[in-house]
Amino acid sequence: YNQKILETIFDESPDALFLINPEDYQILKCNKKGLEMFEANNEADFIGKRGFHFHKITPTEAELQEITDAINSGKGWAKEYQ
């Protein structure tokens, strides 16, 4: 796919989307809906922070391992998490 098409799909999604580094769970990128949801001024408010920093409930080590395993298996991980 064309890079511009993928960026447009990501940016214009009606859902808040975050790209996370699977090694340390730091946020690499977020879309416009993510900025709106968290009332952030810009993407820099998220970059470098752990994705789970913004959750009401911090996942357990077992849950983090499950997420890591899913990502490393090539299946990816996409769930809502409080």
Summarised one tens digit per residue, pLDDT across range 3-61 is 999 999 999 999 989 888 878 888 999 999 999 988 899 999 888 888 777 777 888 88
How do 18-20 and 27-30 pair as beta strands? antiparallel
Alpha-carbon gap, residue 39 to 19, rounded angstroms: 18
Predicted local distance difference test score (pLDDT) of residue 11 = 93
Query: Looking at residue 12, what is its pLDDT?
Result: 94
- The type of residue at 20 is I
Average pLDDT over residues 66-79: 80
Q: Does 82 score more than 70 pLDDT?
A: no
Q: Does the CA dihedral 72-74-75-78 come out positive or negative?
A: positive
- 34's CB contacts (< 8 A; 6+ apart) are 16, 17, 18, 40, 46
